[in-house]
């Protein structure tokens, strides 16, 4: 009887430990990209980036509705959604991965912690592994996560027409900034 009780406690403890999560989330993160070559300003911002990460395991995810990118020109916005991202067919861009060095981040001590993020970027129907660096700035219960990285359009089957090949960069610079709050569960 005692053995069964001890075994039950052990199983419950292990299950609880694995199920434990400390989630930080936002639905209003900012993602900007710059695809210009200097000939013309080809950049856009999306201020509705949904993101969450687990401070214990380092698991991290992002979700963006492509139609939320705002350009300075209506024509560029239309081309982006209709010709390049095909937003009707592929409405979302997603990322799922891990902050590989999450253990280095002390969430109970304010400060700026450099981190490395590794995972899969799912864009335009193509999933590809990426590795990037970023930082987590801790201030009380608030965490600001930032990262900059580049993606090659060809890797995601985004074809640049010959007419705009001088204006549009083959590699796009992406900046992500998220103000996370601790998710009450």
Partner 1 sequence: MKKWKKIAWGIFAIGMVSASVILYFATKKPATAEDSEPIAKFSTTEFIEKLNANQATVSATYMDKNIAVSGNVMEVNKDQCSLVLDAGNNAIITCTFDSAVFAKHAATFEKGKPTSIKGIYFGCDGFEKSDSTDMMDLLPQQKSAMMKTCSVNK
Residue 96 within binding range of partner 1, rule CB under 8 A: yes
Q: Which stretch binds partner 1 (CB under 8 A): 1-9, 54-62, 131-139, 166-174?
A: 54-62
Work out which of 37, 137, 179, 182 binds partner 1, going by CB under 8 A.
179
Q: Which stretch binds partner 1 (CB under 8 A): 9-17, 74-82, 110-118, 151-159?
A: 74-82
| C-beta of 47 vs 170, nearer to partner 1 | 47
State how far the Cα of 140 lies from the Cα of 117, in Å rounded to an integer. Answer: 22
Residue 19 within binding range of partner 1, rule CB under 8 A: no
Residue 93 within binding range of partner 1, rule CB under 8 A: no
Residue 23 within binding range of partner 1, rule CB under 8 A: yes
Q: For residue 34, give both structure tokens.
A: 């710059």
From 151, 153, 155, 173, select the one nearest 164 (Cα to Cα): 153
The least distance separating partner 1 from the CB of residue 172, rounded to whole angstroms, comes to 20
From 33, 55, 57, select the one nearest 45 (Cα to Cα): 33
| C-beta of 63 vs 124, nearer to partner 1 | 63
DSSP string, 145-175: EEEEEEEEGGGGT-PPPGGGTTTEEEEEEEE
Residue 124 within binding range of partner 1, rule CB under 8 A: no
Work out which of 8, 14, 22, 47 binds partner 1, going by CB under 8 A.
47
| C-beta of 6 vs 82, nearer to partner 1 | 82
Residue 91 within binding range of partner 1, rule CB under 8 A: yes
Region for residue 38 given its phi and psi (left: phi exceeds 0; alpha: psi -120 to 50; beta: otherwise):
left
State how far the Cα of 63 lies from the Cα of 4, in Å rounded to an integer. Answer: 45
Contacts of 65 (CB under 8 A, 6+ apart): 46, 48, 91, 92
Asked if 95 contacts 118 with a C-beta cutoff of 8 angstroms, the reply is no
What residues make contact with partner 1 under the rule CB under 8 A? 21, 23, 25, 27-30, 47-48, 50, 52-54, 59-61, 63, 65, 67-68, 70-75, 77, 91-92, 94, 96, 120, 122, 179, 183
């Amino acid at each position: 009887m005692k053995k069964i009780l001890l075994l039950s406690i052990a199983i419950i403890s292990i299950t609880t430990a694995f199920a434990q999560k400390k989630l930080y989330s936002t639905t209003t993160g900012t993602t900007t990209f710059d695809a210009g070559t200097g000939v013309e300003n080809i950049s856009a911002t999306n201020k509705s980036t949904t993101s969450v990460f687990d401070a214990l395991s380092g698991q991290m995810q992002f979700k963006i509705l492509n139609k939320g990118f705002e350009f300075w020109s209506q024509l560029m916005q239309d081309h982006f959604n209709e010709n390049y991202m095909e937003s009707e067919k592929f409405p979302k861009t997603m990322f799922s991965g891990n902050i590989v060095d999450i253990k280095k981040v002390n969430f109970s001590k304010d400060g700026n912690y450099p981190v490395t993020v590794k995972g899969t970027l799912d864009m335009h129907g193509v999933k590809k592994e990426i590795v990037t660096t970023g930082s987590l700035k801790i201030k009380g219960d608030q965490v600001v996560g930032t990262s900059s990285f580049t993606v090659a359009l060809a890797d995601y089957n985004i074809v640049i027409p010959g007419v705009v090949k001088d204006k549009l960069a083959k590699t796009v610079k992406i900046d992500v900034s998220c103000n996370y709050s601790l998710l009450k569960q």
